[in-house]
Amino acid sequence: MSSQSTRVAASRMMGIYEPSHLISMWGESVKGNGSPNTGVSTIVGVDSELDKKLEETSNGALAPSKKYNKEASTLSNKVLRRLAQNREAARKSRLRKKAYVQQLESSRLKLSQLEQELEHTRQQGVYVSGAYDTSHLGLSGSVDSGVVTFEMEYGRWVEEQMRQTCELRTALQAHVTDMELQILVRSGMNHYFDLFRMKAAAAKADVFYIMSGLWKTPVERLFLWIGGFRPSDLLKVLVPQLDPLTEQQFISVYNLEQSSQQAEDALSQGMEKLRMTLSETLAADLLGAGSYASQMATAMEKLDAIVSFVNQADHLCQQTLIQMVARILTTRQAARGLVALGEYFHRLRSLSSLWADCPREPV
Is the Cβ–Cβ distance between 156 and 108 less than 8 Å?
no
User: Which residue type does 164 have?
Assistant: Q
CA–CA dist 152, 158 (Å, integer): 10
pLDDT at 217: 92
Alpha helical stretches, state H, 216-246 = 218-222, 231-238
pLDDT at 76: 75
pLDDT at 47: 47
| Axis crossing angle, helix 331-357 with helix 178-212, rounded to the nearest 10 | 40
What Rg do the C-alpha atoms of the chain give, in angstroms? 46
pLDDT at 185: 95
At residue 354, does pLDDT exceed 60?
A: yes
Mean pLDDT of 101-119: 66
| pLDDT-based confidence at residue 110 (cuts at 50, 70, 90) | low
Is the Cβ–Cβ distance between 185 and 335 less than 8 Å?
yes
Cβ-in-10-Å burial (0-12, 13-18, 19+) of 124 comes to exposed
At residue 232, does pLDDT exceed 60?
A: yes
CA–CA dist 342, 166 (Å, integer): 9
| pLDDT-based confidence at residue 302 (cuts at 50, 70, 90) | confident
Burial track 258-268 (b if 16+ CB lie within 10 A, e otherwise): ebbeebbeebe
Is the Cβ–Cβ distance between 309 and 273 less than 8 Å?
no
- Considering the entire predicted model, what is its pTM? 0.59
At residue 124, does pLDDT exceed 70?
A: no
| pLDDT-based confidence at residue 192 (cuts at 50, 70, 90) | very high
